[in-house]
Amino acid sequence: MTEIIKPSLEKVIVTENLTKKFGHFTAVDHISFEVNRGEIFGFLGANGAGKTTAMRMLCGLSKPTSGEGTVAGFDIHKQPEMVKKNIGYMSQKFSLYDDLKVWENIELFGGIYGMTDNEIKLKTDELMGRLNFESERDNLVKSLPLGFKQKLAFSVSIFHTPKVVFLDEPTGGVDPITRRKFWEMIYEAAASGITVFVTTHYMDEAEYCDRVSIMVDGRIEALDSPANLKEQYNARNMDGVFQQLARKAKRVDS
């Protein structure tokens, strides 16, 4: 791999009282946090806690009702398209084009991010080799097994070397071995300097993060490294921490 970049104090994501309301319902309630460059930042919370809504605001998919935020140095209110140039995004739902081939998907998204044809070709070759994907290159994406699809979706989301990649429950529905491999890819990405912002339901995955925030009812209830959180809540693992915090939730899971 390339040189290992340790999390630096350069702030890649900064939010200040970020809020999103849908009518009378406050999905995200004045959240403030910072994420450093190269960090793996875990974003935890029960269903309906507001994780996805918060993430969508940071990605420029949803307009905040109030509060401030910058991603990769760009204001999410005023420069959403600049934010988009500098991030990668992988949603819960697999969302590459099923009826395009593997290489066509890569070319499409690479092209949208303004990569040159040559750059795309070289990187595609490198990627196919690294993932042992050479035989799948000309296959339609819909014919791939789920584990492959997820690896591909992640690879496409960081193909243009964004400053930050947002992963929304990236490992939903895959087996533990594939999950393990997936996290290896996340580590590699973080080591190359890409900041990783990841939501998850799996508490073992939370342990892999540099820092973790836990959302309850639209607010951030806890934010620290997994080790510190376990000490603070006197729990053996992250699951223990999560259980204690999630019990406070008043919102009924829809």
Partner 1 sequence: MPKMIFMFPIMVLLVFPWAASYEISNLNLSVIDNDHSRMSHQLVEAITASGYFKITNVSNGYNDALKSIEKNESDLIIEIPQHFEKDITTGTGVKVMISANAVNGMKGSVGMTYISGIISNFNQSNLSKQFPQGAKNGLMPIQIDEQYRFNKHLNYQVFMVPALMVMILTLVCGFFPAASIVFEKELGTMEQMNVTPVPKFTFIIAKLIPYWIVGIIAISIGIIIAWLVYGLIPAGHFYVLYGFTIVYVFGISGLGIIISNYAHTMQQAFFIVFFFMMIFIMLSGLYTPVQSMPEWAQWIAAFNPLKHLTDVMRAIYLKGSGFGGLMKELIVLVLFAVFFNTWAVISYRKTQ
Q: Which residues bind partner 1 (CB under 8 A)?
A: 56, 59-63, 80-82, 84-85, 87, 89, 91, 93-98, 109, 112-114
Residue 80's φ and ψ, nearest 5 degrees, are -60, -35
Q: How far is the CB of 104 from partner 1 (least distance, A)?
A: 13
Residues forming beta bridges with residue 25, ordered by sequence position: 22
Beta sheet of 40-45, edge-to-edge order: 87-90, 164-168, 195-200, 40-45, 211-216, 219-224
Considering the complex, state which of residue 113 and residue 187 has its C-beta at the smaller distance from partner 1.
113
Task: Tell me the two tokens of residue 19.
Answer: 């809020």
Minimum CB distance to partner 1, residue 98 (Å): 8
Task: Kindly tell me which of 166 and 242 has the beta carbon lying closer to partner 1.
Answer: 166
CA distance 110 to 106: 6
11: helix, coil or strand? strand
Asked if residues 53 and 27 have their Cβ atoms less than 8 Å apart, the reply is yes
Q: Is 99 exposed, middle or buried (0-12, 13-18, 19+ CB in 10 A)?
A: exposed
Q: Which is nearer to partner 1, 56 or 230 (CB)?
A: 56
CB of 23 to partner 1, least distance (A): 14
**Among residues 24 and 93, whose Cβ is nearest to partner 1?**
93
* Closer Cβ to partner 1, 5 or 112, answer by number: 112
Q: Do the beta carbons of residue 167 and residue 43 sit within 8 Å?
A: no
Strands 211-216 and 40-45: parallel
Q: In the complex with partner 1, which residue's Cβ is closer, 109 or 182?
A: 109
- Least Å distance, CB 89 to partner 1, is 4
Distance CA 185, CA 173 (A): 17
Give the list of residues 6+ apart from residue 61 with CB closer than 8 angstroms, or none: none
Minimum distance of partner 1 from residue 114's CB (angstroms)? 8
CB of 206 to partner 1, least distance (A): 24
